[in-house]
Amino acid sequence: MVDIWFQDEARVGQQGRTTRIWAIKGTRPRAVKQLQFTNTYIFGAVCPSKNLSAALIMPYVGTVSMEKHLEEISKKIATGRHAVVIIDQASWHITKDLKIPENITLLPLPPYSPELNPCEQIWQFLRDRYLSNRCFSGYDDIVDACAYAWNQFVSLPDKIKTMCSRSWATC
């Protein structure tokens, strides 16, 4: 009884990125670009086979943040089941100091292989639709935008399943 989860985190902030926008042919539209540096991180995880997700918005990345996120994922795992959480090899993911819940096993991806983690597609989806080409008034505004973006994503019927399923990651 094993569930496969994918986990990653993304930085979101005032130094955001610009994305494509619609414009009349022959015009050069202007896009917003802030110069401030306030940011936060979305820690997100999805289980495509169960259409489940777990996310936290944290002010920094590190071992403590990762532990809190693993605890959040652990709460979503049904009693009697075990989760294999596929992660990249960020230092806070693979440190020996990381406390891992008993119902979770971490499986690191090979180095330099972000294309294997569907969470990268989630971040692109959120940036394209909710988090780019805008100004944030401060930290709380960034957190609110991140929460709104994640909640919009997980509320779309079967979006986790369709976007994040991988043929090589099934039990």
d(CA 108, CA 90): 9
d(CA 64, CA 83): 20
Predicted pLDDT of residue 17 = 56
Model confidence band, residue 32 (pLDDT cutoffs 50, 70, 90): low
Amino acid identity at 48 = P
CATH fold for the domain made of 2-14+33-162 = Nucleotidyltransferase; domain 5 (3.30.420)
Predicted pLDDT of residue 16 = 52
Percentage of the chain surpassing pLDDT 70?
A: 88
How much is the pTM? 0.85
pLDDT in tens, 127-171: 999 988 787 888 999 999 999 999 999 999 899 999 999 988 876
Task: Provide the b/e sequence for 72-99 (b: ≥16 CB within 10 Å).
Answer: bbbeebeeeeebbbbbbeeebbeeeeee
Which residue shows structure tokens 């993911």? Answer: 93
Domain extents for the chain?
A: 2-14+33-162
d(CA 39, CA 106): 27
How confident is the model over 91-112, as a mean pLDDT? 95
Helix (H, G, I), strand (E, B) or coil at 105: strand
Candidates 4, 44, 53; CA nearest to 168 is 4
Q: Which residues contact 4 (CB under 8 A, 6 or more apart)?
A: 47, 48, 49, 83, 84, 86, 169, 170, 171
